[in-house]
Chain A
Amino acid sequence: DAGVTQSPTHLIKTRGQQVTLRCSPKSGHDTVSWYQQALGQGPQFIFQYYEEEERQRGNFPDRFSGHQFPNYSSELNVNALLLGDSALYLCASSSQGTYGYTFGSGTRLTVV
């Protein structure tokens, strides 16, 4: 039973560029949440997708957007990258109404 899969594992981008991160949820899960984790801090909630719609959003600018596909996988897009966007991006999946989260290993994004 595959857990949460994220790709790529590492990424280096230049300021101003755009990036797309991908997440496949654990089998049987229908809800995907994205988090940003800066070094030495806890994960910060970006947004959550369920039934292909954004259901909840944290305090992140519109440069951060996402999508969920019919197979429940999800993408996180970040436009106009800033140096401060450098972080570990974590995807978590769950079943709607249970909220016991399973996390992926994350994508380490470095903006130079």
Chain B
Amino acid sequence: KQEVTQIPAALSVPEGENLVLNCSFTDSAIYNLQWFRQDPGKGLTSLLLIQSSQREQTSGRLNASLDKSSGRSTLYIAASQPGDSATYLCAVNTNAGKSTFGDGTTLTVKP
């Protein structure tokens, strides 16, 4: 059974800092991994999708890496802004289409 763990559960940083969010998974037989952002009480917004054959994906100030063999992914946020405050979730997808989510990291960026 796939298990996904996100550490830390919460993170508070001053504006402008670079930061790394971690996601680990127990079964390396994944199809892809997706990072999402969720604002309080809202749905999920996709940030980055990494296929199992890829090592990383970049979008603006975001960079996500994937190391399937070690069961790890990281989301790097450069030059953090107060608007980045949200909960960040990673989801591991199998080739059968089933997703397993972590419980997220709640990020607070202080002005």
Contact = CB atoms under 8 A, between A and B. Distances in A.
Interface in B35-53: 36, 41-46, 49
Interface residues of B, number: 25
Contacts of B96: 55-56
Contacts, number: 68
Given A33-B97, A42-B4, A100 B43 contact: no
Interface string A30-70: 01010100001111110010100001101000000000000
> Which of B36, B43, B96 neighbours the largest number of chain A CB atoms within 10 Å of its CB?
B43
Contact of A105 (B31, B42, B91, B93): B42
A1 to B, nearest CB: 14
A101 B42 CA distance: 16
Interface of A: 4, 6, 31, 33, 35, 40-45, 48, 50, 55-56, 58, 88, 90, 92, 94, 96, 99-106, 108
A90 B31 CA distance: 21
A87 B104 CA distance: 16
Give chain B's interface secondary structure class: strand
23 contacts: A6-B43, A33-B99, A35-B99, A41-B103, A42-B4, A42-B91, A42-B104, A43-B101, A45-B98, A45-B100, A50-B97, A88-B41, A90-B43, A94-B97, A96-B97, A99-B31, A99-B93, A100-B32, A100-B46, A101-B46, A103-B45, A105-B42, A106-B42
Interface string B51-94: 00000000000000000000000000000000000000101010
